[in-house]
Amino acid sequence: MSIERLGNGLGDSLGLSLTWESQKLINLQKHEVGADDRRVLRELAKRVAELAARPIEDKKRKLWYAHNALESVRPLVFCDPENGWYEIIPHTSLKCSGSLARIWEFGLRKEIFWGEKMGDDRVTDGGFAVQYVFSQSGRGLEQTIIGGENDGAYTWDPPLKDYKALDDLSFSRIEVDKTKTNSLFELAAEIFEGILPIRLEGCWWWSLGMTFDAISLIGAEKIMTDMYDCPDGLHRLMAFLRDENLAKLDYLEKNGYLTQNNKGTYVGSGGFGWTVELPQKDFDGKNTRTLDMWGFGESQETVGVSPDMFEEFVFLYQLPLLEKFGLNCYGCCEALDKRWRMIEKTPRLRRVSVSNWAKEEAMGEQLCGNYIYSRKAPSASIAIPVIDKDQIKKGLRNTLDISRRNGCVLEIIMKDNHTIGHNPQNVVDWCKIAQQEAQL
């Protein structure tokens, strides 16, 4: 049975939660919105604008500014149900008929749910973001996906069979379609005129971790064994990916395609970018540089690798990328407690992920109040039709106790949801519990 998300064959497996992924979907659509769809979008936009004008949004914004400055405020709570959004806003509830309009409608309805019902600390800022329309070239050798239909299991045939073939690889390159970008921006400005301000954003990556790309090229098992069997070849591959990403960052900065992420932009693997520390004091007010932005690295795929091997084959290649940013986040689902002696070398590190696989007490002792303790709450706790509220409270209280003992700057993040048990009330109840516990 085909999975329905937004209807018309639209959607992804993340609820359009990562702008990088959602923009790929938008790039495939015709830039046209009919009269009836425009009326639907304008009415929804009016409600978003009303929510954004509430005094509580300013209060939440101030909390994030203080939180990201490592000031002493209450723990902040954020919930992004990701794939669970399709259970909160089923495709049958959408009113627009056109593909682009349905994508935009879904985004606006998410904003309204966040503002009216979710109950977390995310700020409804009342803007509408349009991303650059672009294409991205391959590297000359591409993987073959096997399986994966309807969100099923898949594997892939990695194309790099021998490190000698590295000579056949070329850097993946971004090409912006300025004409289509302007067309999309103007269409949004026309539809939402007088209601929501439109901003152009450049969202070109989620992570600069590189290990996912490496595994796509040579395979998960091979990246592990080659640390012993063929270290020189693996070093060559990681150097290629490092240089590819450095070239990408330089290209985007030189051509003015970077945009600041120092306000309501989701940064790292949880939390938002609100900070007065970015952009830099010498920012000219026009040309955003990587140094004016938050950066992010992670290496979830190498959880079985020793700290020393991780440093040699991964972190030392990530470091030149992270050095380019004004503030940094590190980590996602991987446990960082055993890797901390490397991770703390990240320049201008501010936000650190504390996953379900990390030893919380150890992370609390290591982070103290010097970094944001970005705790990822167990997504399985809301993946069932009826949640266990007592169990959720128990887990949250353990996190809060550790945080308080160690003077941590805590944020509690609910994400990585593949389902919310087909019960939208689960996220509302989770946020309510988390807020109550955080404010005790």
Under DSSP, the state recorded for 299 is -
Residue length, the chain? 440
Amino acid, res. 25: L
Per-residue pLDDT, 142: 87
**Residue 349: CB atoms within 10 Å:** 20
Is residue 229 a part of any domain in this protein? yes
**Residue 277: CB atoms within 10 Å:** 15
Is residue 336 a part of any domain in this protein? yes
Per-residue pLDDT, 3: 67
Question: Which residues in the chain show pLDDT less than 50?
Answer: 1
For residue 271, which of 406, 86, 413, 427 has the smallest C-alpha distance? 413
The answer to whether the beta carbons of residues 266 and 296 sit under 8 Å apart is: no
Residues 313, 239: Cα–Cα separation, whole Å? 9
Query: Beta partners for 295?
Result: 328
Per-residue pLDDT, 440: 81
CA 42, 45, 50: angle at the middle one, nearest 5? 130
Residues 164, 435: Cα–Cα separation, whole Å? 55
Residues 186, 256: Cα–Cα separation, whole Å? 19
Q: What burial class does residue 168 get, using C-beta atoms within 10 Å of its C-beta: 0-12 exposed, 13-18 middle, 19+ buried? A: exposed
Q: At what angle do helices 211-218 and 220-229 cross, to 10 degrees?
A: 90
Q: Which residue in this structure is represented by tokens 């971790």?
A: 209
Is residue 11 a part of any domain in this protein? no
Residues 134, 177: Cα–Cα separation, whole Å? 5
Per-residue pLDDT, 2: 52
Tokens of 402: 């550790």
Residues 379, 216: Cα–Cα separation, whole Å? 26
The answer to whether the beta carbons of residues 392 and 431 sit under 8 Å apart is: no
The answer to whether the beta carbons of residues 302 and 314 sit under 8 Å apart is: yes
Is residue 9 a part of any domain in this protein? no
Q: Is 295 helix (H, G, I), strand (E, B) or coil?
A: strand
Could you tell me the residue range of the domain that residue 48 belongs to?
A: 19-438
CATH number at residue 250: 3.20.20.210
Residues 201, 186: Cα–Cα separation, whole Å? 14
Per-residue pLDDT, 154: 87
Residues 310, 224: Cα–Cα separation, whole Å? 10
Is residue 1 a part of any domain in this protein? no
Query: Beta partners for 154?
Result: 147
The answer to whether the beta carbons of residues 372 and 271 sit under 8 Å apart is: yes
Q: Which long-range contacts (CB under 8 A, 24 or more apart) does 422-428 make?
A: 422/87, 422/385, 423/87, 423/385, 423/386, 424/87, 424/88, 426/382, 426/387, 427/79, 427/81, 427/84, 427/88, 427/118, 427/382, 428/117, 428/118, 428/119
Per-residue pLDDT, 1: 38
Model-level pTM?
Answer: 0.96
Number of structural domains found in the chain = 1
Is residue 375 a part of any domain in this protein? yes
Q: Is 306 helix (H, G, I), strand (E, B) or coil?
A: coil
The answer to whether the beta carbons of residues 54 and 114 sit under 8 Å apart is: no
For residue 222, which of 152, 329, 302 has the smallest C-alpha distance? 302
CA 163, 165, 166: angle at the middle one, nearest 5? 70
Per-residue pLDDT, 34: 98
**HSE of 170 in the Cβ direction (CA atoms, 13 Å)?**
6
Is residue 279 a part of any domain in this protein? yes
Per-residue pLDDT, 366: 98
Is residue 287 a part of any domain in this protein? yes
For residue 152, which of 422, 418, 416 has the smallest C-alpha distance? 418
* φ and ψ of 176, to 5 deg: -85, 135
